[in-house]
Amino acid sequence: MAILLSPIGAPAAHWQREFARLLPDEEIRVWPEVGDRGDITVAAVARLPDGELANLPKLKLIASLLAGQDALLSDPKLPSVPIVRTGDPGGDELMTETCLAHVLRHHCELPAYAVAQTHREWQPRPRRRADERRVGILGLGAIGTAAARKLAGHGFKVAGWVRHARSEPGVEIFAGREHLQAFLARSEIIVNLLPLTPETIDLLNKDTFARLPEGAAVINIGRGATLVDDDLLAALDSGHLSGATLDVFRQEPLPKDHRFWSHPRVTITPHVARRLDPAGIVARIAENVRRLRAGEPLAWLVDRSAGY
Amino acid sequence: MAILLSPIGAPAAHWQREFARLLPDEEIRVWPEVGDRGDITVAAVARLPDGELANLPKLKLIASLLAGQDALLSDPKLPSVPIVRTGDPGGDELMTETCLAHVLRHHCELPAYAVAQTHREWQPRPRRRADERRVGILGLGAIGTAAARKLAGHGFKVAGWVRHARSEPGVEIFAGREHLQAFLARSEIIVNLLPLTPETIDLLNKDTFARLPEGAAVINIGRGATLVDDDLLAALDSGHLSGATLDVFRQEPLPKDHRFWSHPRVTITPHVARRLDPAGIVARIAENVRRLRAGEPLAWLVDRSAGY
């Protein structure tokens, strides 16, 4: 029995140290040094080349190292073993902080002042209070819920768009496609935290942007393919949207010739909203390995049909 | 008996409405329509031309409309009547929010990513946690204390530099000139909230910048003349400081030809860290007018010798 590890976001040695600390009795093999494929029962990976996981005959569990499952689930030969999440079920503190930083930046009109600075223009703008600002979060999973709570705690008027109705204190809930337009119409700053699924791909397009109020801002720290690049640029160029902050893109690194780089109302960060936390991730893998070995039900299961 | 009002930050009618609501029995005269100077017992002003207040023979009280007293106290003929502050003694919520927004922006390395974007460079940087980031607040008055508490609540390691030692839960206190160097040496992001006095003018100069750790950032939302412009530019150009966010300047509006406008590591906002709140200000003026008329001790007195 061995665990196949495909390190990401931190050096392999860093991951191995955490595995040695928390699962001292397990043999860890670092991809692509797989050794005897019949030994591997657990794969801790972001994604591997298509078909690679299908080549592990004794695989019992896939532990996904990333918050989004789209890359893993896109493998057409993905074996039908359980997939478990490894992110903190209470949300990711750094992701929540990133969300607050970008929302405050748009709320305080810093993107507009940055444009004014390039023209040497001294133009104070009316200042709004947080309780006069309506922020909308697309997706209230562990991360979205933590972000919504943080923003509501700061005083913003926060709404969340979700698939299935539920309640969340201090957050106005809009559930399902039939309430997406109402959610958009009331949101001056939207933050995308949706997983990438067949239902969410291209969701942020010219129709959805048109539903946002004049001057709204878009923050995408979810997945690049949720947003239609040309539609965003058109909405910014028409003046309908005031700005966009993008951390994720259809192609990463963002190609040098992409129009986003030079657009005065687009702020780019290189996929840094979150920091992988090997210690926390390996702790959650260890819990599921323990359950697997003991024959107990697994925790934090990915729903393949939902895509997250 | 009449109150002389010199409106600032909001239309005169807005101020007059608040005075009519809270001090319905007082006559309000809007400068420069002073009328009979002998009627004026209270002046609610930011500042007036030098000598103007000395020309009010029955003046008993000056209510300062601004957070900083430097402009008012610079009048060489300022009469020796009590001066009272009118800001919220619990701090200014918008100022606290501005402080958090700018600190988060530097903490999340957004200024460095903005520079990278101009070069179309995709360069993720190591991500720090808030509890790994040391923020220093210069000046713990009402506003500085509220800002320090907010930042500590977010998880930052916060220190404050003050004139006289006192304790503040969750905030490391450095008191007096003799501890300024130690305060600077431990602060990766400093926020200036000091009043402008003979002791604080030019305080942020080449010597103080040199004491900050390599890569530190400077946020000035206090007073422009606390910071020596050329020394800041030199510290940025040498690479010793990573960036600066400036809301206040020696001359406002900032002159079109000032080097700050085009410096890639300087972020400029046009003196918008705070929003005047006429309702709250007039409420505090009303309380002191009531005390004045009743012969009770005044509240929120400015210490002229200290300058704030």
pLDDT (average), residues A272-295: 92
- The interface pTM score, or ipTM, of the predicted complex is 0.89
Q: Which residues of A touch B105 (CB under 8 A)?
A: 101, 104-105, 110
Q: Is the pLDDT of residue A91 over 80?
A: no
Kindly identify which residue of chain B lies nearest to residue A256, measuring between CA atoms.
B120
Element (H, E) at A93: helix A93-107
How much of chain A exceeds pLDDT 70, in percent? 100
> What's the pLDDT score for residue B98?
97
- Which phi-psi region, left, alpha or beta, contains residue B284 (left: φ > 0; alpha: ψ -120 to 50)? alpha
Q: Which residues of A touch B94 (CB under 8 A)?
A: 127, 129
List the pLDDT tens digit at each of the 308 positions of chain B. 899 999 988 889 999 999 999 999 999 999 999 999 999 999 999 989 999 999 999 999 999 998 889 989 999 999 999 999 999 887 789 999 999 999 999 999 999 999 999 999 999 998 899 999 999 999 999 999 999 999 999 999 999 999 999 999 999 999 999 999 999 999 999 999 999 999 999 999 999 999 999 999 999 999 999 999 999 999 999 999 999 999 999 999 999 999 999 999 999 999 999 888 899 999 999 999 999 999 999 999 999 988 89
Exposure of A109 by Cβ count < 10 A (0-12 exposed, 13-18 middle, 19+ buried)?
Answer: buried
> What's the pLDDT score for residue B125?
93
Cβ-contact A138, A174 below 8 angstroms = no
Q: Do B110 and A254 touch (CB under 8 A)?
A: no
Q: Do B94 and A127 touch (CB under 8 A)?
A: yes
Q: Choose among A109, A123, A270: nearest Cβ to B124.
A: A270
Asked if A110 reaches chain B (Cβ–Cβ under 8 Å), the answer is yes
Asked if A104 reaches chain B (Cβ–Cβ under 8 Å), the answer is yes
Asked if A24 reaches chain B (Cβ–Cβ under 8 Å), the answer is no
Kindly identify which residue of chain A lies nearest to residue B104, measuring between CA atoms.
A101
pLDDT in tens, A118-153: 999 999 998 899 999 999 999 999 999 999 999 999
Q: Is the pLDDT of residue A286 over 80?
A: yes
> What's the pLDDT score for residue A28?
96
CA distance B136 to A250: 39
Asked if A116 reaches chain B (Cβ–Cβ under 8 Å), the answer is yes
Q: Do A104 and B104 touch (CB under 8 A)?
A: yes
> What's the pLDDT score for residue A106?
98
Asked if A93 reaches chain B (Cβ–Cβ under 8 Å), the answer is yes
Asked if B153 reaches chain A (Cβ–Cβ under 8 Å), the answer is no
Which site among B269, B271, B276, B277 would you substitute to test the A interface, given the most A Cβ atoms closer than 10 Å to its Cβ?
A: B269
Asked if A256 reaches chain B (Cβ–Cβ under 8 Å), the answer is yes
> What's the pLDDT score for residue A241?
98
Asked if B164 reaches chain A (Cβ–Cβ under 8 Å), the answer is no
pLDDT in tens, A226-255: 999 999 999 999 999 999 999 999 999 999
Q: Which amino acid is at A103?
A: V
DSSP single-letter state for residue A118: H
A3: which strand partners?
Answer: A28, A42
**Active-site annotation holds for B125:** no
Q: Which residues of B touch A101 (CB under 8 A)?
A: 101, 104-105, 107-108, 110
Mean pLDDT of chain A: 95
> What's the pLDDT score for residue A110?
98
Q: Do A104 and B100 touch (CB under 8 A)?
A: yes
> What's the pLDDT score for residue A121?
98
Q: How far is CA A129 from the centre of its chain?
A: 28
pLDDT (average), residues A71-99: 92
Asked if A250 reaches chain B (Cβ–Cβ under 8 Å), the answer is no
Farthest CA pair distance, chain A: 68
Under the banding of pLDDT at 50, 70 and 90, the label for residue A271 is very high
Q: Which amino acid is at A201?
A: I
Kindly identify which residue of chain A lies nearest to residue B108, measuring between CA atoms.
A98
pLDDT in tens, A176-219: 999 999 999 999 999 999 999 999 999 999 999 999 999 999 99
| Catalytic pick among B29, B47, B149, B223 | B223
What are the b/e assignments for A246-267, b being 16+ CB within 10 Å? bbbbeeeebeeebebbebebbb
Q: Which residues of A touch B125 (CB under 8 A)?
A: 272
Q: Which residues of B touch A255 (CB under 8 A)?
A: none
Q: Do B94 and A123 touch (CB under 8 A)?
A: no
CA distances (Å), A105 to each of A3, B122, B129, B136, in order? 43, 21, 19, 21
Q: How many CB pairs under 8 A join A and B?
A: 90
**Active-site annotation holds for A271:** yes
Q: Is the pLDDT of residue A19 over 80?
A: yes
Which site among B92, B106, B127 would you substitute to test the A interface, given the most A Cβ atoms closer than 10 Å to its Cβ?
A: B127
Q: Which residues of A touch B129 (CB under 8 A)?
A: 93-94
> What's the pLDDT score for residue B167?
93
Q: Is the pLDDT of residue A49 over 90?
A: yes
pLDDT in tens, B151-202: 999 999 999 999 999 999 999 999 999 999 999 999 999 999 999 999 999 9
CA distance A261 to A116: 18
Q: Choose among B127, B252, B268: nearest Cβ to A272.
A: B127
Q: Do A129 and B272 touch (CB under 8 A)?
A: no
Which site among A93, A94, A108, A260 would you substitute to test the B interface, given the most B Cβ atoms closer than 10 Å to its Cβ?
A: A108
Q: Rounded to 5 degrees, what angle do the CA atoms A192, A195, A200 make?
A: 80
Asked if A8 reaches chain B (Cβ–Cβ under 8 Å), the answer is no
pTM for the model: 0.90
